[in-house]
Structure 1
């Protein structure tokens, strides 16, 4: 994601500084040993000399119209072209996908989910609304047997058009009491799904030994499914979850003026509180820095 380097404000054109003057350090402690942190740049802006044509172009991009040598607020701008509408929709979809992907990844970690259920139909179900309704009913039935059932669920469409779901859940008990009989947990989940859809199946991808590592891996899997859905232009809710609240981040300021310097400050901050963690890092397209901590 690239932010604009110029913008129009009150009849003047401003340019963004080439280098940031500081970075905001945002640390999300998701619990269970999982931490995600970012260093996001802060830029200064200064007024620049601009021709009337440059001012008009900048103003128009922000919804104003050039008229009689002045820029008038609240005057309708010309209707965007089809190409501009398509470009705008693509950028909006990209932003929405990025937000949803981040939210899903963090929810899986915060809820400490380490097992994935994949629900399918035997028939070729191409109606997404039907899948949505069936999943809602399935979850209600599961919660009657497993109170406090935590999950994050995403929908996926196969190439042939058939819908199914992937659901991250906490590791369940080996057996549950159902109508006075002990039933294997995954047999029970399959039975509950089939009671809703008829002939279908629930596949279970069990957690690997190091539980927190499997949680991180599962978070990555589900966020990729989210990205795939947005790339295909799917409409509707991008994911479901048993509560979407996340811990508030801690926000600090670094006076570094480069991503490397901010990354160093971020690492020092995390090491002070999580000295035994294993860190993974990457540069961000916006000029910032990302860091994740696994147990």
Structure 2
């Protein structure tokens, strides 16, 4: 990314009505005097680098408490007074975890498992899916992130995020073997595989599929019953640890955007994903796969 590209990205971000504070001036109401027993304003940077070199950086406006941690009695599961807000938070958290796991395995394709008939039994569908994954795993390593989608008519089917080219005939034969045949000998299921080109990202934009998958797979997440899992993934997916830093000299969104770009220095800028929400105080950057570039040694 050239300096002109950098300036173009900054110009595309709406920083109003963010307060443009000078070095010696802070926004109205900003608290960072380290007074014990109070909540302090801060911007926090978080960085996570995935195995294939993808880097995700967020800079968010947060608050942290100075002093002993405050304790409160936690409501029993399902008895929260603000159930709707709790479900919304759980849905956002699940979508984030789906995105993280998709990036960890380098997901660039979606496998869709469907039924010929109107399947509405969730427990039976899950048994079919587990049997499918177990049989595929016997042939080769099968890492996936999956959710169940329920259509308007109540029919269930699976969306499975995977990495790399898939043996379509093998997947279809295993899925159909799990479901068996109907009364007239007809196949009771079908398998479709969609690659990055199907979603308009192209070969070099496969890293964008993780964000798409998390939204695509998460549109039904908030409708799950209390004790129903929101997503499913294979064993052995180890999400990289996140690094975090508080930014004491960052007091406005312009500072946050500049800090975010500093944290991704060295990573590829081709196909960079940028997102900024001024009211929420969030700057988000996500790079394409590629290992960080080490500076040339001058001697």
Give the TM-score, by structure 1 length. 0.70
Please, which runs of 5 or more residues in structure 1 have no aligned partner?
A: 6-13, 47-61, 65-78, 80-84, 174-184
Equivalent residue for 1:31, pick from 39, 51, 58: 51
Partner of 2:212: 221
Q: Alignment partner of 2:238: what SS?
A: coil
For the residues of structure 1 that align with 2:269 and 2:162, how far apart are their CA atoms? 27
> Alpha carbons of 1:141 and 1:285: their partners in 2 closer, same or farther (altered >3 Å)?
farther
In proportion to residue count, which structure has more strand?
Answer: 1
Say whether residues 1:268 and 2:267 are aligned partners. Answer: no
Partner of 2:11: none
Say whether residues 1:206 and 2:210 are aligned partners. Answer: no
Moved more, 155-164 or 259-268: 259-268
Give the TM-score, by structure 2 length. 0.69
Q: Alignment partner of 1:105: what SS?
A: helix
Give the drift of 1:34: 1.9
Give the drift of 1:86: 8.0
* Partner deviation per Cα, 1:178-228 (whole Å, 9 max, x = no partner): xxxxxxx211111100111121001111343844522422x2333124432
For the residues of structure 2 that align with 1:212 and 1:284, how far apart are their CA atoms? 29
Say whether residues 1:169 and 2:193 are aligned partners. Answer: no
Give the drift of 1:286: 4.0
Aligned length: 238
Partner of 1:89: 83
Say whether residues 1:148 and 2:141 are aligned partners. Answer: yes
Q: Is the 8 Å Cα contact of residues 118 and 164 (structure 1) preserved in structure 2? A: yes
For the residues of structure 1 that align with 2:80 and 2:73, how far apart are their CA atoms? 17
For the residues of structure 1 that align with 2:65 and 2:132, how far apart are their CA atoms? 53
> Alpha carbons of 1:259 and 1:87: their partners in 2 closer, same or farther (altered >3 Å)?
farther
Give the drift of 1:267: 0.9
Q: Alignment partner of 1:252: what SS?
A: strand
> Alpha carbons of 1:167 and 1:86: their partners in 2 closer, same or farther (altered >3 Å)?
same
> Alpha carbons of 1:193 and 1:15: their partners in 2 closer, same or farther (altered >3 Å)?
same
For the residues of structure 1 that align with 2:142 and 2:278, how far apart are their CA atoms? 35
Give the drift of 1:289: 2.2
Moved more, 279-288 or 192-201: 279-288
Q: Larger radius of gyration, structure 1 or 2?
A: 1
Q: Is the 8 Å Cα contact of residues 27 and 251 (structure 1) preserved in structure 2? A: yes
Partner of 2:127: 133
Partner of 1:187: 169
For the residues of structure 1 that align with 2:112 and 2:276, how far apart are their CA atoms? 30
Give the drift of 1:110: 1.5
Q: Is the 8 Å Cα contact of residues 33 and 212 (structure 1) preserved in structure 2? A: no
Partner of 1:51: none
For the residues of structure 2 that align with 1:214 and 1:262, how far apart are their CA atoms? 27
Give the drift of 1:87: 6.1
